[in-house]
Chains A and B, each alone.
Chain A
Amino acid sequence: AQTVTQSQPEMSVQEAETVTLSCTYDTSESNYYLFWYKQPPSRQMILVIRQEAYKQQNATENRFSVNFQKAAKSFSLKISDSQLGDTAMYFCAFMEDSNYQLIWGAGTKLIIKP
């Protein structure tokens, strides 16, 4: 069975710093998707970034980028120039190509301090 592990329950950095959130997963599949979702206190689940496993190039969305290491089954999220609005829970999630159910990590609470 697929599993997703986020080993950092909570992280805290100063505004404008760079922070990296870690995520590892376990699967025997070769085709899959990986996601980072953000859940601020408003509880709306927002997609931050997605990565298709068949793509070697790391996904980037403005200040957000991933380091996707397929062989190591690692999918970390880097947030550059962090902002107060980045304060939220961040969830890493895995989805098989043929099954649209998400497998979720436990989440990392990120606090950006002014």
Chain B
Amino acid sequence: SAVISQKPSRDICQRGTSLTIQCQVDSQVTMMFWYRQQPGQSLTLIATANQGSEATYESGFVIDKFPISRPNLTFSTLTVSNMSPEDSSIYLCSVHDPNTGELFFGEGSRLTVL
């Protein structure tokens, strides 16, 4: 199983600022996913990040708002840009294990925008 570390664990930010969330995996993985979980809700996929290519964004999410980097097979970042209170959520990084089909998750980053 993959061990995933996310930073920061939580943060409180001011409206209009940007925050970058880091995701570090202890093994090389091809596919990484970024999810958003709004309070009391289920998970919504933001984008899929594969190393060496542009991230693929889901409907309702755009690169200008959520730029993603994937510089190598063990690391990715998600930036939440020009934040507003509606961006207050938990953001989760996950990786796919092609051998078992399961997804492993980081601990999540709880973001509060004032």
Contacts and interface: CB of A to CB of B under 8 A. Distances in A.
B114 interface: no
Interface string A67-103: 0000000000000000000000001000101001110
B42 A44 contact: no
Contact of B43 (A42, A47, A50, A104): A104
Contacts of A33: 101-102
Interface stretch (B16-24, B63-71, B73-81, B105-113): B105-113
Given A45-B92, A91-B43, A100 B107 contact: no
Interface residues of B, number: 22
Interface string B23-51: 00000000101000000011111001000
A105 B42 contact: yes
Give the interface size class of chain A: 20 to 34
A50 B100 contact: yes
Contacts of B15: none
Contacts of B98: 100
A19 interface: no
A43 B110 contact: yes
16 contacts: A33-B102, A35-B102, A35-B103, A44-B108, A45-B94, A50-B101, A95-B103, A100-B31, A100-B33, A100-B96, A101-B33, A102-B43, A102-B45, A104-B44, A105-B42, A107-B42
